Amino acid sequence: DIVLTQSPATLSLSPGERATLSCRASHSISNHLAWFQQRPGLAPRLLIYDASHRATGIPARFSGSGSGTDFTLTISSLEPEDFAVYYCQQRGNWPLTFGGGTKVEIK
């Protein structure tokens, strides 16, 4: 199975700051990676697919990059609603797997 390792586990930032989240795959997955946001009590929300493509309706402050084994989600300027948990997910191989998550919390 492909293991996705997300870092850091927790990111403490203030509104308006830039957030940089990392996801590392145990084997190369080309660009077959997505990012999700999950707010408390809600279902996950697809943000980015194929490493760098924003899903429908996702604001431009969210961007993704990377290929192979190293991927990054960047939130250029944090809005209050962006404080949440973020997961990466790979579709390079079955079983499809998620990373353990990064919590972005208010500093």
- # chain residues binding other proteins, by CB under 8 A: 24
Half-sphere exposure of 49 (CA within 13 A, CB side): 7
Neighbours of 83 (CB within 10 A): 20
User: Which residues neighbour 27 within 8 Å (Cβ) at sequence distance 6 or greater?
Assistant: 2, 69, 92, 93
Place of tokens 């990064």: 102
Q: Is 71 in the site for other proteins (CB under 8 A)?
A: no
Among 78, 83, 99, 104, binds other proteins (CB under 8 A): 99
Which residue, 75 or 85, is less far from other proteins as judged by CB? 85
DSSP type of residue 96? P
User: Contact with other proteins (CB under 8 A): which of 19, 21, 49, 66?
Assistant: 49
Using the rule CB under 8 A, give the single segment among 8-16, 18-26, 74-82, 93-101 that binds other proteins: 93-101
Burial class of 21 by CB neighbour count within 10 A (0 to 12, 13 to 18, 19+): buried
Q: Which of 96, 105, 106, 107 binds other proteins (CB under 8 A)?
A: 96
Subset of residues 4 to 43 that bind other proteins, contact rule: CB under 8 A: 32, 34, 36, 38, 42-43
Task: Give residues in contact with other proteins (CB under 8 A).
Answer: 32, 34, 36, 38, 42-46, 49-50, 55-56, 87, 89, 91, 94-101
